Chains A and B, each alone.
Chain A
């Protein structure tokens, strides 16, 4: 025996396993014969190798995989006819299946559109992979992320050879714009909240919108943006300012001071760009706006950004090193060690919340991943419903299957028929979902503040839909089809069957558990997100956040008109208090200015504290309910040399208690002299509660007032519109040419949490959807089981069981399943929720009831569904069930 060389075992097994039965023998014979002759000619091992290759050769041949067909009719038409009949025969199940899938597919389509929109940001520029934004990271722990680059830096980088192109721009965001008539008189006024920018002609070489070209309606990038004082507007702006008149050659006056002549009109910028520009001034006008700052190496406006295109194959790290060298050569050692310039790839700009974007929108990769996960879960839950219902139903259809097989159907035929049924259901669901998306997408999009539109001519949408249909059909249909087609005809007709079991637990139960685990994770997440939002909305921020305060933005702070305005305001009956300040205590619309301050003996950068300084008048603390802990309030007599500090700054400077610091002298960074501390105020949150309390100091420098806060004491019947009209009239009487720009403090603070608010709404929507789909499936299952067990119930009732016994009999199993899924959901949710809460400096404690409550709610809803159905089964008259056999 041992003398006979043997070919490799696995090769033989492969042939045995896969070859058509009637061919296996001859193939193996031929292979063996050749193997033996190889053994004679070569050695054993090369004979084995040649044998293996021959076997693989067979695997690659199509005849090897063909099976004899006993039936050559084309049954496709019949599959669909049969499928239609059986779907119509079980209308209830069909409806539930379709509904579950419709919701799943519709949500999936909507989220996929959103994800695609977010991923498409600024991907349409030539070389977008080589474009970088210069950013600045400072602090000993590299914790301050900014995009502003001092004006003197970019010209100095011209010598770096790896930089192909460079363009700088300053995003000014908002502006007050006056339209002047052709002879130079004031005509109309507009307030732009955003979109105002100064750009170089080269901007359109770097950010060139190559795949989504922006048409120049008149003018061109080369000449229109060359001269100082020239301005290019988008079509929408031109239309808004001038209607059908030609805007070319007209003059706009910005901030009552700077005149710009319109030299070009461009098409609107696309929605998926982080360059949302509408009024583009020439960068050569910058010296007009910022005068002597153009040679500044140190301070920077946050809007002044620099974009570079690196040559192919250049490592950004090398360029950063060269920039660092140039920077170090031009500023002091302190600053060059404290501040670092980096190059951020343009493709990361939209996904990095640290630096932000001009469009104010970013989305992290984690969020996108979470959204993708939700898409998968939604589709999975829909599929699970289908699998559950159709495997349950297969038991009813076992007789049909048995009969089909006896009449000559092969396993393949039966599978084809069941897959056809699935396909029909998925197709119906997919098209219904498309309709649903068309109807609800606009409201979902506006809820999330996006500009996604569903375009039905977009091939991507159809490709997505077709792949969803294919995947769902296979996922949902394959298992039931396999299971059902495997029935042994004899036992099928005798009604002996079994459904699949995984490790001894029925597949159906496993799927129900998975489904409800997903649902409960989402439900818990929703509870936590909503609780955190409530916390944000109600927590004490250190000042009176519930006060009805209107804040009005000043365009100049010329003393006489300002005090005239203040006294006019005080004369209004509903005005409780008025305060002037540089900025607001909190809110999104808040200017920030920071400097360094230290103890008198401070020398090094490390000894100084970076703090935010603001100017206020004597009414400010009172109006906002900020408490004075020690010392005295500022008065109008105080100069900018007297300051109030908050507790955090006091502690960070190393003072133990408030008495100690009152009267102390502090040294300003950069040799700006010495200030006196006259008082200490309590900490308040200038930022959102997501962050810590900053170091804050206040002085009484009247030259820096930019905001007027008006606290209103409203009678119950007072109409807000009237109040605003009165305020505006007062404003116009003092500042006839200035636009009245106001905000409510509470709106302003609420805007901090816009992003979180969107999440919380999204979570609420999706957890509702999950619960809905889950309950649909449960309803289907229970309906089916109640029908199946009809006879058992009838017998039990005749033997004396009460309706309550019957209901308990039905619901016991599901309570257990939901309890198991709850146990699984808690740790998953715990982990996810903690990760999310860690994003916020101030967050709620995760309490047990935040887990228990959603769990109980899901359980109650599920139980309600189960009871509803089992109740009717329990009440049915036993005679009806027992009679028909």
Chain B
């Protein structure tokens, strides 16, 4: 790991959710998935804040789309993980794996 990865714990979880959900990742679906997968309950505003930070940092991109009547006809912002985001997740996982291997060796 050459340089420090600027990714918080919540941000990492949300980034994972974006990757997991794939096509329909937006505020509500991400909070729902997060609760289901990791048991973490977060407010919708916290999710939005984290997504904005991820986008600023370049881990995700977004576009508007998918209006539906159960949103009062409003569109949602759909997030998609970037190549840089995927690479970062990979790096993090590898770094941790390396460490875990050593711990279980003891």
Contact = CB atoms under 8 A, between A and B. Distances in A.
Interface of A: 23, 25-34, 36, 53-54, 57-58, 60-64
Nearest to A12: B72
Given A33-B28, A34-B28, A54-B43, A27 B48 contact: yes
B80 to A, nearest CB: 15
A58 B76 CA distance: 17
A-B interface, 7 closest residue pairs, ranked by CB to CB distance from nearest:
A29-B74, A57-B45, A30-B27, A29-B71, A26-B77, A58-B45, A32-B72
Contacts of A57: 43-46
B45 A60 contact: yes
Given A33-B28, A33-B71, A61 B44 contact: no
Contact of A63 (B48, B71, B75): B48
Contacts of B71: 29-30, 32-33
Contacts of B53: 63
Contacts, number: 61
A58 to B, nearest CB: 4
B57 to A, nearest CB: 13
B70 interface: yes
B27 A26 contact: yes
Interface of B: 26-28, 43-46, 48-49, 52-53, 64, 67, 70-72, 74-77
B49 A61 contact: yes
A34 B48 CA distance: 14
Nearest to B66: A29
Nearest to B31: A34
Given A33-B28, A57-B44, A64-B45, 4 more contacts: A23-B48, A26-B26, A26-B76, A58-B45
A29 B45 contact: no
A29 B29 CA distance: 12
B28 A28 contact: no
Given A61-B49, A63-B48, A29 B43 contact: no
Contacts of A25: 64, 74-75
Contact of A28 (B45, B46, B64, B74): B74
Contacts of A23: 48
Contacts of B45: 54, 57-58, 60-61, 64
A714 B27 CA distance: 102
B48 A58 contact: yes
Chain A contact residues, majority secondary structure: helix
A25 B53 CA distance: 19
Chain B contact residues, majority secondary structure: helix
Q: Which of A53, A54, A61, A62 has the most CB of B within 10 A?
A: A61
Contacts of A28: 72, 74
A64 to B, nearest CB: 8
A820 B75 CA distance: 59
A28 B71 CA distance: 8
B43 A30 contact: no
B72 A30 contact: no
Nearest to A60: B45
B16 to A, nearest CB: 20
Contact of B44 (A31, A36, A60): A31
Contacts of A27: 27, 48
Nearest to A24: B74
A60 B45 CA distance: 9
B73 to A, nearest CB: 8
B65 to A, nearest CB: 10
A54 B31 CA distance: 13
A58 B53 CA distance: 15
A57 B46 CA distance: 8
A34 B44 contact: yes
A627 B46 CA distance: 93
Contact of B74 (A32, A34, A54): A32
B44 A26 contact: no
A355 B77 CA distance: 75
Contacts of A58: 44-45, 48
Contacts of A34: 28, 44
Contacts of A62: 49
Contacts of B46: 57, 61
Contacts of B64: 25-26
A28 B42 CA distance: 18
Nearest to A31: B44
B49 A63 contact: yes
Given A36-B70, A57-B43, A29 B75 contact: yes
A61 B43 CA distance: 11
Contacts of B26: 26, 30
B63 to A, nearest CB: 11
B49 A29 contact: no
A46 to B, nearest CB: 16
Contacts of A64: 45
A427 B21 CA distance: 57
B72 A26 contact: no
B71 to A, nearest CB: 4
Contacts of A33: 28, 70-71
Q: Which of A23, A29, A33 has the most CB of B within 10 A?
A: A29
Contact of B28 (A30, A53, A60): A30
Nearest to A56: B45
A29 B44 contact: no
Contacts of B70: 32-33, 36
Nearest to B49: A61
B52 A63 contact: yes
Contacts of B77: 26
A722 to B, nearest CB: 91
8 contacts: A23-B48, A26-B76, A28-B72, A28-B74, A30-B71, A33-B28, A54-B45, A62-B49
Contacts of B75: 25-26, 29
A541 B64 CA distance: 93
B75 to A, nearest CB: 6
Contact of A30 (B52, B67, B76): B76
A297 to B, nearest CB: 75
A463 to B, nearest CB: 36
Contacts of B74: 25-26, 28-29, 32
A47 B26 CA distance: 21
A36 B28 CA distance: 12
Contacts of A26: 26-27, 64, 74-77
A29 B76 contact: yes
Contacts of A32: 70-72, 74
A30 B49 contact: no
A32 B64 CA distance: 17
Nearest to A53: B43
B92 to A, nearest CB: 24
A57 B45 CA distance: 6
A473 B27 CA distance: 43
A16 to B, nearest CB: 12
Q: Which of B26, B71, B76 has the most CB of A within 10 A?
A: B71
A36 B70 CA distance: 7
Q: Which of B45, B48, B53, B70 has the most CB of A within 10 A?
A: B45
B32 to A, nearest CB: 9
B26 to A, nearest CB: 7
A23 B55 CA distance: 14
A438 B100 CA distance: 71
B31 to A, nearest CB: 8
B72 to A, nearest CB: 4
